[in-house]
Amino acid sequence: MFFHNKWIKRRKNMRKRIMVIDCSVNTLKTIKKLNIKVICIEKEQKKQLKDLMNSDDIYFEIDYKDITLLKKEVGKILIKYPVDAILSFTGDGQNAVVALQEEYPLNKYKQSDQIKLFKNQCNLRNLLNRNNFSYVHVKLINSKEALIEFANENGFPFILKPCIETGSKVAKKISTFKEVYELLDKENPATLIAEDYQEGVEISVETFSFNRKHYVVGITDKYTEPDFVTYGHSVPTTLNDELITEITLFVLDFLTLTGVVFGPCHIEIKMTAYGPKIIAAHCRTGGDQIVALHRFVSGVDLTQWTLDAIYTENWQKYDVSQQYRAAAVFYLRFQPNKKIKKLNFQNADETIVAYKCNIEEGVGTTETNSLKDEHGFIITKGRNVEEAVENCRLAIQTIEIEYAEGIFPDS
């Protein structure tokens, strides 16, 4: 208690500074554009990030997944360098934010309760079901018998995923008893949840909240493989005006029901025959270039809105200018376990807005199972969504790639 009182007292005379867990280069650029000092907490070295920091900024390498270590080290940092907010704009930094915000509360900027609710998919689903909102059959699977019971009672197909949200790559669609028994032969399905499979078009929605007032920033169309791995996004949505209105009201009701107070949210939805259904929700901006797509098309930078709101007593949504009519992003997926001999991007086409390749010549490729380990991306613009998506497909086809002879072994 002595430490907390000392820390809170120091906050009264704080400087314009924030702490960011797992900061990206783009996030840092936005922070610097607003002349805000930053403390970056990274679990591994990020040279490009360090090179962009000013003399007033501070960089620490701390394994933020070790919560005990993190709280101890950050406690020392905050005594010397008070901050106005502790944030993370990535899924990887969310647990760290929960621990630090609960240890060192920062009033209206606290998101830890929201993050914990959204990460625990069983608790979130039960809350929604109790309020008859986006109702789906769900069961906590803590034994083999519970899994078989759910299959018998609800039939197929259904989704099996961790109770604590860890990303779409571990969600499994179960369609037969054979798949149930095959899964049981491989693992003990403890701390999983089973829920109805939702048939329909999948979208995501970006929102922003300030003092419990909610705004829908935009709807993102999503392109996924049968195993739920996403390979692309586009904005604006191609849904008709009636569905856009339905989704907007649905999402605003969801944010109110779940008690969201402050900050950006990324909400994944299936448009089913029974209306929109919540698939997952996150108290952060959408990853994998979704923020960039909305910035290009609507002009809204959710990172900047978050920082503006922290330093504006009566923040209100403000108008921004549109850059492009439509934009799309596709993720690069090279052949796995190969060594790239030659890689050449043809960036002469003016429809390419941005691209990044995470694989260098002479380096081996890995198998991509989720967005976190994608090999890179290409963002293109268009006069409409269809053109932007087609430009993405064409741009990927222009990549010149030559693999070395033979298989490159896993390291």
pLDDT tens readout for residues 227-240: 777 889 999 999 99
Q: Read off the tokens for 273.
A: 């025959």
Q: Is the Cβ–Cβ distance between 161 and 139 less than 8 Å?
A: no
pLDDT at res. 114: 93
pLDDT in tens, 161-213: 888 876 544 688 999 999 998 888 777 767 889 999 999 999 999 999 999 99
* Amino acid making up residue 301: D
**Phi, psi angles (nearest 5°) of residue 36:** -105, 135
What is the per-residue pLDDT across 112-127, written as a single tens digit (0 to 9) for each?
999 999 999 999 999 9
Instruction: Report residue 22 as tokens.
Output: 């797992």
Q: Which of 20-24, 262-266, 356-360, 387-391 has the lowest mean pLDDT?
A: 356-360
Residue 410: per-residue pLDDT: 42
CATH number among 3.30.470.20, 3.20.20.10, 2.120.10.70, 3.40.50.720, domain 327-403:
3.30.470.20
199-319 and 327-403: identical CATH topology: yes
DSSP 179: H
Tally Cβ neighbours within 10 Å of residue 48. Answer: 10
Enumerate residues 6+ apart whose C-beta is below 8 A from 410.
337, 366
Contacts of 93 (CB under 8 A, 6+ apart): 20, 21, 22, 64
Q: What is the number of helices (H) and of strands (E) in the chain?
A: 13, 18
CA distances from 238 to 218, 231, 243, 327 (A): 12, 17, 10, 12
Residue 372: which region, alpha, beta or left (left: phi > 0; alpha: psi -120 to 50)?
A: alpha
Buried b (16+ CB within 10 A) or exposed e, 235-252: bbbbbeeebeeebbebbb
Provide mean pLDDT across the span 55-82.
96
- Residue 20, CB half-sphere, CA atoms under 13 Å: how many? 27
Q: Among 378, 379, 229, 370, which residue's Cα sits nearest to residue 293?
A: 379
Domain 199-319 top-level CATH class: alpha beta
- Strand ranges inside 13-88, DSSP E: 17-21, 37-42, 58-61, 86-87
Give the angle 272-273-276 at the CA atoms, nearest 5°.
40
Fold type of domain 137-196:
Dna Ligase; domain 1 (3.30.1490)
Q: How far apart are CA 339 and CA 336, in angstroms?
A: 9
Phi-psi group of 33: left, alpha or beta (phi > 0 → left; psi -120 to 50 → alpha; rest → beta): alpha
**pLDDT for the residue numbered 157:** 95
pLDDT of amino acid 226? 75
Summarised one tens digit per residue, pLDDT across range 264-320 is 999 999 999 999 999 999 999 998 899 999 999 999 999 999 999 999 878 888 777
Mean pLDDT for 7-23 is: 69
pLDDT tens by residue, 316-359:
887 777 789 999 999 988 877 777 766 676 655 789 988 888 87
Would you say residue 385 has pLDDT above 80?
yes
Q: Is the pLDDT of residue 371 over 60?
A: no
At residue 5, the pLDDT reads 45
pLDDT greater than 60 at residue 75 = yes
Q: Compute the distance between CA of residue 369 and CA of residue 230 in angstroms, rounded to an integer.
A: 10
- Per-residue pLDDT at 330: 94
Average pLDDT rounded to a whole number, residues 351-376: 73
Q: What is the rounded end-to-end Cα distance, in angstroms, of the chain? A: 48
Identify the weakest region by mean pLDDT among 242-251, 340-349, 350-359, 397-406. 340-349
- The architecture in CATH of the region 1-107 reads 3-Layer(aba) Sandwich (3.40)
Q: Does residue 408 carry a pLDDT above 60?
A: no
State pLDDT tens for residues 126-164.
999 999 999 999 999 988 889 999 999 999 999 998 888
Question: What are the residue ranges spanned by the domains of the chain?
Answer: 1-107, 137-196, 199-319, 327-403
